[in-house]
Every structure is written in structure tokens, then in C-alpha cells.
Structure 1
Amino acid sequence: MLIREATSGDWAAIWPFFHEIVAAGETFTYPLDLAEKEASSWWLLESPSRTVVAVDDDGTVLGTAKMNNNHMGNGAHIASASYMVDPGHSGQGVGRALCAYTLDWARSAGFRAMQFNAVVETNTHAVRLYHSLGFEILGTLPEGFDHPKRGFVGLHIMYRRL
């Protein structure tokens, strides 16, 4: 697996699984009916932020990550990131590789920590992955997320010092 900078040409491969994940409404706080043009501008970030794709040997996009500062100004020393793995390639280490990549990026870019603002508590695979990579739950916003199947569930704020 290779992780490389995403290009606008990668969007055609990202959009189908991005749309599927967002429309399912189980893991992201994005509008369920997010339009493709708006989604692209939200995901494909400009420098100094970054968006990357994980691809296999054939160049197939397996997943993607975006990374950026979590806040501006005096809070700009804390990074954040988001990840999407094509459901057809889940369980193959793509999410772990993308998360490790973003941690390395944040460290080398001089960030002091990484914070995730809204990890849905029922997204147990992501919570387990982040814990295994050294993140801790700082707190949970009770009923902060309206899950389409489980109703109102908590949103974790997760943090890792770099």
C-alpha cells in the first residue's frame, strides 16, 4: 500500500465511498445529503493542510485522509485529521496506515498534539484503533450524535500528545 498526496483526479474514486459513508449517517457529522461539489471542497484541502489517498499496487484508491490544524491562532499547534476507508477494503489495515501517516505528518509539521473533535462512540472500530495508537478519550458529549439506528449516542473528544 502506498500513501500519497491526493489530486483532484482522485476525487472520482473517492466520491463513491465518501458518499456511501456520509449518506449512511453513522460516523460523520456531515449533512446526509451533502452534494458532491461541496464534499470535494470540504475534503480536498489546500496546503498547508493535506489530503492523501492510500492506493494498492494497481493504483486503486483504498481510503483517504485529510489533516489540518484543529483551530486557528493560539490553538493552531493542535492537529486534527479525518479518515474514510472504502468499505470494500475495510479490515485490511488501511485505516491504521492512514492514521499513522497523519500522526507522522503532524509531528514533522511541528504540531504538539492531535485531537479528534467528534468520534461517534458507536464507531467502535475507530475508537479501538485510536486507542491502540495512543489516543485517549478526554470527554464525551452525551447524545451529541443522532445515529440513524441507535438514536442519540455520545461524541468522544479524543487526544494524543505528539
Structure 2
Amino acid sequence: MPVSADNFKKALQLWVSGVAIVTTQSEKHGVRGMTVTAFSSVSAQPPQILVCINQSADTGENIDVSGAFAVNVLNAGQQADSNNFSGGSSQEERFANTVWEIGKFGTPMLSDSIMSLECKVVEKVAAGTHWIIIGEVMEAISRTGEPLLYYRGAYRQLDADV
């Protein structure tokens, strides 16, 4: 029998993760985006990443329609953007309250993030309550700054003295 959801969540709070916003756009639904911490590289050749998105999220539905998405890794000063894209705000408000532009392949890219990866969907796998979406990286933009981190239910930043 697997561990309880509460025990699982408590254990995972001990994993430090970066914070990213996944964005997508389609003619049918317009721009969509959400905050995620489940993001990882998969392969360097071909360049692939994965994100995990709750099956009920409208951002995931829009990725299905468009076949493309971007992962925007947030900088230490983007806590407000993370909170904005975490829910409670409409999709229109999320994008109205952050600086973004359309990437080379048509996905919204957050201009202030430290990294943006524009991807086309390669595979989508159901896993529990989530979709694991694997994307091939078509464009990678690196910017300066320190990452926004998440640990034990709170935002963290790298220690500048280390």
C-alpha cells in the first residue's frame, strides 16, 4: 500500500526546486499559463524536457490544442509572477500583470525570467492526476539573474555569500 498523500507531500517539501511558469497559446483559447515546480531535463540529444501538469488545468488543455509550450524559469524577484500564475487570477489577469512577448515559435515567453525554453510536444503520458508532457526544445533563451527557489512551502533565494 502506498504512503498517504499527506506523508508524500510532507516528504516532497524537503526537495528544493526551481519555480517555472509554463505558457502556451492557441487560436481557440488564447494565452494560458500556470506555475509549476515539476520540470526537468530529459535528454540532451535530442534536447527534451518534461513538465507535469494537473489534468484539470486549462493550460494543459491549451497545450493539447497548440502542440507547443514554453517553460519560463523565474528569477529571484518574480515571486509575484509565481503567485499570479498559481491560481486565483484569470488567465487574462495573469498575462496583463507580467511582461511577456511571443517567442519565435508562437508561445508566450516571460521577458524577465532567467531562462525560457520554447518546445513542441513530443509525448503526453497520464500519471495519476497529472499529465507528463515531454517537449523538444526548439528555442532556448538564457538571461542573467538568480533563480527563485521553493522549499518547505516557501520561496527561497540563493545565499549571495556562497
Q: Answer 1 or 2: which has greater helix percent.
A: 1
Q: Answer 1 or 2: which has greater strand percent.
A: 2
Normalised to the residue count of structure 2, the TM-score between the two structures is 0.28
Normalised to the residue count of structure 1, the TM-score between the two structures is 0.28
Structure with bigger RCO (C-alpha 8 Å, 6+ apart): 2
